[in-house]
Every structure is written in C-alpha cells, then in structure tokens.
Amino acid sequence: MSPARWVVEPSEVEPTGFRVDRALPLGRHPIGAAFPGIDALATAARLVPDAAARRSLFASVQIELVAEDLWMYVAPFEIPPGARRGWRPVVSPAQDCVVIGEEHLRTSASLVLFLDIYHELCHLLQRRGGAELWPPGVSYVRRWTEVEAYRFVVHEARAMGVSDEFLREYLRVEWISRREHRELLTALHIPNDGR
C-alpha cells in the first residue's frame, strides 16, 4: 500500500479546521509549517489537555519531509535494535521529529493526514513517557503503543462520523498480514468485513 492509493477522491469526511501546506519544500520544518493551526484544534486539546504542555509539545516537534515513498513515522533517536532489514530511518537524536513522505503530504486525503499526524503525536507523547516504540520481537499489532495511538485516532474519526469501512481500509497497512489486520480491528472494536 503506497500513499498514492489514498489519492482517489476527497475522503468522506474533512476534519474541521485541519490545514495542510502541500507545497512545503523538502527538509525539516516546525510542525505548524506543514499543518498550520494544528495546535489549536480540539483534537490537540484532547490529546494534551493541559494548555502549557500542549504549547510545549507543538513548539518543539519538527517534521521532516523526505522524497521517499512512505507514510509517516517518528524519527528514532538511534536505529532501533530490531529494525527491519533495509530500513534506513531518519534519525533525530536531539529533537522530536515526525518523518513524512513527500507524496503522502502532497496527495493524500486530508483525513488520512489528520489521522496519521495525530497517531505519530501519540507516539511522541508515549516516548516522552518512557515507552519503547520499537520493542524487538513484538508484533506491530500487539505493541500497546500502536494500539493506544490507533485507538485515539479511531475515536477522533468516529466522532467526526467516519465509517467503519473507511477505518478498516485505513488500518490495512502493507507491513501487517491479513490475520494481523483482523487482530488490530478486534483490538479497536471495528467490525471485520470478512476479508
């Protein structure tokens, strides 16, 4: 599944107030340059209820827009011990950074970008709380950090009226098997469509 598969038509729901600078140049930028006003959205307040902590988070997070064909991920401080062979992530030892593939930012539906960036912000908060984001030997769909981050964005999506069909497709990522996809749907209380 590449980001291009989300370039179909506008999604069924557009997140209110969420903006994307699709012309942002490659390189590292404050998160607000890519997503102007993201810190003022109601979702940001639900993610970090304390206003001072929220300001601190959004003032410190950077995004790095790269020319690679990828979605988004939190840049590790160093390459994780159990990293997939061939994965050469952007490493950001001194700063919280979310890496975004250029095609994803330029062409994906706003709803998908909204869900993805808040998913990654959940991971940054988890890591700040001491969580290991890439525990070796733990399936992606069994990492509590992934389930918790997906649970947050699924809750936000449902509050906007996003369908289970959309959520099933959103969670069908290429690095998990069909069985794992079903497991993730079950963990998030999303009815399985039988595929």
List, for residues 124-165, the tens digit of each pLDDT value.
999 999 999 988 888 888 999 999 999 999 999 999 999 999
Residue whose structure tokens are 């038509």: 9
pLDDT for the residue 159: 93
Least confident of 10-14, 32-36, 66-70, 93-97: 10-14
Long-range CB contacts (within 8 A, 24+) of 150-153: 150/119, 150/184, 150/188, 151/188, 152/47, 152/118, 152/119, 152/122, 153/115, 153/118, 153/119, 153/122
pLDDT for the residue 11: 54
Domain ranges of the chain: 3-187
For residue 19, give the nearest of 5, 33, 29 by alpha carbon: 33
pLDDT band for 18, please (50, 70, 90 cuts). very high
pLDDT band for 55, please (50, 70, 90 cuts). very high
More reliable by pLDDT, 11 or 173:
173
Residues near 88 by Cβ (< 8 Å), separated by ≥ 6?
Answer: none
Q: What is the pTM of this model?
A: 0.90
Residue 37's region, left for phi above 0, alpha for psi from -120 to 50, else beta, is left
Judge contact between 90 and 66, C-beta under 8 A: yes
pLDDT for the residue 9: 41
Average pLDDT, the chain: 89
